[in-house]
């Protein structure tokens, strides 16, 4: 059984806008022995996912080019917090930047950590309702994003049957469904 874990060393491997990769050394007391292990850990900023929902239950999605896979994917708006920025402010900023929409009503659907073995990043999922089109996106220079309004059936078919997206977007859908929003 593990009794105690402590960090005994830390070295920066890479620091960027989205990632802060460290090589960390830990001492672990386990079954009466002391072990030393190294792990690559990302202590980057927290993130948010937004499920923008129209009154008729249509969902505002984005289609974004993803460089690692060199393909376009349908997703939900999402983004990374700026230093010191409250996560709800991040969500509002990202919705406007990526879609050109603002929302009058925001509901926190949940939080989760992904890749627990490698990152301390927390993702907060919000539902955005009472959408208003401001008609102007504010994309980062590297972003290629198109918006698409989808019916609930189209969204379910795309995200749940085809599975051509990240799992956290499916989680956003199920949290909204569980709480009775869709």
- Of 49, 36, 43, which is closest to residue 14 (Cα–Cα)? 43
* Entry pTM: 0.87
| pLDDT digits 0-9 by tens, 35-79 | 899 999 988 899 999 999 999 999 999 998 888 889 888 999 999
Domains parsed from the chain with CATH numbers: 2-42 (no CATH), 47-178 (3.90.79.10)
Residue 125: is its pLDDT beyond 80?
Answer: yes
Q: Which two tokens stand for residue 7?
A: 């960090």
Strand segments (E) across 53-182:
59-66, 71-75, 78-80, 101-113, 122-133, 145-150
């Amino acid at each position: 059984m593990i009794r105690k874990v402590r960090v005994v060393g830390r070295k920066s491997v890479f620091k960027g806008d989205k990632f802060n990769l460290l090589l960390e050394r830990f001492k672990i007391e386990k079954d009466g022995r002391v072990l030393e292990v190294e792990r690559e850990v990302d202590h980057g900023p927290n993130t948010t996912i937004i499920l923008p929902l129209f009154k008729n239950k249509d969902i505002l999605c984005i289609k974004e080019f993803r460089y690692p896979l060199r393909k376009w994917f349908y997703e939900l708006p999402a983004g990374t917090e700026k230093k010191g920025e409250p996560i709800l402010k991040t969500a509002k900023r990202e919705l406007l930047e990526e879609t050109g929409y603002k929302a009058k009503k925001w509901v926190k659907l949940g939080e989760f950590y992904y890749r627990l073995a490698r990152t301390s990043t927390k993702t907060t999922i919000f539902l955005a309702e009472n959408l208003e089109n401001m008609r102007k996106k504010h994309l980062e220079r590297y972003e290629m994003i198109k918006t698409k309004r989808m019916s609930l059936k189209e969204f379910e078919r795309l995200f749940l049957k085809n599975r051509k997206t990240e799992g956290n977007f499916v989680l956003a859908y199920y949290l909204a469904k569980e709480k009775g929003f869709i």
